Amino acid sequence: MIRTGTKFRIASLTAAAVLLVSACSGSTGSSPAASSAASAAASAAAGGSSAATNTINIGIGGPFTGTSALTGTEMKNAANMAFDAINWQVGNYKINPVYVDDQADPAKGTAALEQAIVGQKIIAGILNWNSSVSVAEMEITAKYQIPWFFGMGAATTVNQKFASDPAKYGYWTSKGWPDPAKLTTAYVTAINDAIAAGTYKPASKQVAIYGEDTDWGRTFGAGLKQDFTSTGWTIVSEDYFPLTQTDFSALMSRYKSENVPVIAGTSTAAASITAFIKAEADAGIKSLTVADGLGWFGDWYKMTGSASDYVLDSVPGFATAKAKAFEQAYQAKYGADPSAAAAGLSYDWTNFFIKIMQQTLADQGSITSATLYKEAQDKLWTGQLTYTNGIIMSSYDFNKDSIPDPVVGKGHYIFPVTQYHSGQRTVVWPADQASGQLQAMP
């Protein structure tokens, strides 16, 4: 529930201001010059006397309109909150945001990015959401040699393009979401562990795979297929549909006739994934359903209601006091519930980028496309520059073996598997984080 009292709003925003300013400093050791740059930024954020003598344009990417607009809006709002906390200033550089609306469409995304580079002279950029957009925009960042940080497009196709010519495509410096094949294992392990423990007893080891017909959806489906088949499951069917699809009646009729114990897949569009879940309930399907990404939208339960009960998802939450302070500040500022996956991660990645700018200024004396890219190569890719003051993950870090992905694993970038009940999340895997057991739909 969103609390709207004036006193609560003021208290939340005041507490958040303290939180957000402290979050930008990071935790890696730094030189005296780095401390000076960070101090200048903090002084500016607190209304100090440090004056900006340069203005730099920074791109903030995402689907701010179109099929994934709910997600894009959360990303933009969270990024703004991180920059607000430093008064949009690093050292003597004033930051001017340029919002690059890709509309979840590769052609529209590349056009918007090229206009931002050529017309608005951005020197770097952060964030985006869709994998197909990432793959397309990598051509633009390479063409103009503009470094882009922490794009959320996760599909294997992004990694493959990066690896095909790192000298060219390295300007897409880093991903904010790892290859989905590194994350699908969590679902399959959670289900198999529940079978081994005797808490879940499917009639057979058969699964139907579904997903949006995009690089993300197909990569995620391929990961699920590999993980299920390698542990003795049989894939009964594999279906991909347009990102805009909301009528799933025919598919549900087939699923009901197949009567498979598990249905697993993903979609990044709120209207599509929530329609899928509701169509399952309307068809009376009792399968255990993996709906990766359902919880990426702050209003997901309002859109699904009880149809989401017993669904499995792998999403972070606002678990710590610092994370809950951000959640309350977001609610007070924007009058909506944020998701940890879109807003929370975007907030952390933006703060990491702020740290990169601060460190670039300290190490190289200026913030330009060239100096930011060099900092990425010298310190981000080698694991020397990390961010451990976030609200979602314990640590955000990269190394020569992970790039362009962040390091994945316990203590780094990892999502627990949760099961939904009446709009609430119950962590069911891994065991050391679990607050309940995986349950089959009655």
| Helices (H) then strands (E): counts for the chain | 15, 12
The answer as to whether 338 is a domain residue is: yes
Q: What pLDDT is attached to residue 12?
A: 39
Query: How many distinct structural domains can be found in the chain?
Result: 2
What residues make up the domain containing 241? 181-316+415-429
Based on the fold, state whether residues 31 and 170 are members of the same structural domain: yes
Based on the fold, state whether residues 265 and 239 are members of the same structural domain: yes
Residues β-bridged to residue 289: 263
C-alpha torsion 411→417→420→421, nearest 10: -80
Cis amide prior to 261 (ω within 30 degrees): no
Based on the fold, state whether residues 312 and 336 are members of the same structural domain: no
Based on the fold, state whether residues 291 and 338 are members of the same structural domain: no
Instruction: Identify the CA nearest to 346 among candidates 127, 85, 26, 147.
Output: 127
The answer as to whether 1 is a domain residue is: no
Burial of 364 (0-12, 13-18, 19+ CB in 10 A): middle
Based on the fold, state whether residues 149 and 193 are members of the same structural domain: no
List the CATH number of the domain containing 254: 3.40.50.2300
Residue 312 near residue 190, CB atoms below 8 Å: yes
Based on the fold, state whether residues 104 and 250 are members of the same structural domain: no
Based on the fold, state whether residues 146 and 275 are members of the same structural domain: no
**Interatomic CA distance for residues 14 and 12, integer angstroms:** 5
**Interatomic CA distance for residues 147 and 371, integer angstroms:** 10
Q: What pLDDT is attached to residue 290?
A: 98
Based on the fold, state whether residues 205 and 276 are members of the same structural domain: yes
Q: Determine the residue type at 217.
A: G
| Cα 271–chain centre separation | 18
CB-hemisphere CA count at 13 Å for 81? Answer: 35
Based on the fold, state whether residues 153 and 26 are members of the same structural domain: yes
DSSP-assigned states of every residue in 310-342: T-EEE-----SHHHHHHHHHHHHHHSSPPPIII
Based on the fold, state whether residues 425 and 375 are members of the same structural domain: no
Residue 86 near residue 350, CB atoms below 8 Å: no
DSSP-assigned states of every residue in 239-292: EEE-TT----HHHHHHHHHHT-SEEEEE-S-HHHHHHHHHHHHHTT---EEEEE
The answer as to whether 408 is a domain residue is: no
The answer as to whether 393 is a domain residue is: no
Which residues lie below 8 Å from residue 112, measured CB to CB, with a gap of 6+? 100, 101, 102, 103
Q: What pLDDT is attached to residue 296?
A: 86
Q: What pLDDT is attached to residue 275?
A: 97
Based on the fold, state whether residues 327 and 303 are members of the same structural domain: no
Residue 352 near residue 21, CB atoms below 8 Å: no
Query: How do the pLDDT tens digits run along the chain, 442 residues long?
Result: 333 333 333 333 434 443 444 444 343 333 333 444 444 444 443 333 368 899 999 999 999 999 899 999 999 999 999 999 999 999 999 999 999 999 999 999 999 999 999 999 999 999 999 999 999 999 999 999 999 999 999 999 999 999 999 999 999 999 999 998 888 999 999 999 999 999 999 999 999 999 999 999 999 999 999 999 999 999 999 999 999 999 999 999 999 999 999 999 999 999 999 999 999 999 999 999 999 989 988 889 999 999 999 999 998 889 889 999 999 999 999 999 999 999 999 999 999 999 999 999 999 999 999 999 999 999 999 999 999 999 999 999 999 999 999 999 888 998 889 999 999 999 999 888 889 999 999 9
Based on the fold, state whether residues 207 and 348 are members of the same structural domain: no
What percent of the chain has pLDDT above 90?
81
Burial 58-76 (b: 16+ CB within 10 A, else e): bbbbbbbebbbbbbbbbbb
**Which residue do the tokens 């999403």 mark?**
315
**Interatomic CA distance for residues 324 and 428, integer angstroms:** 21
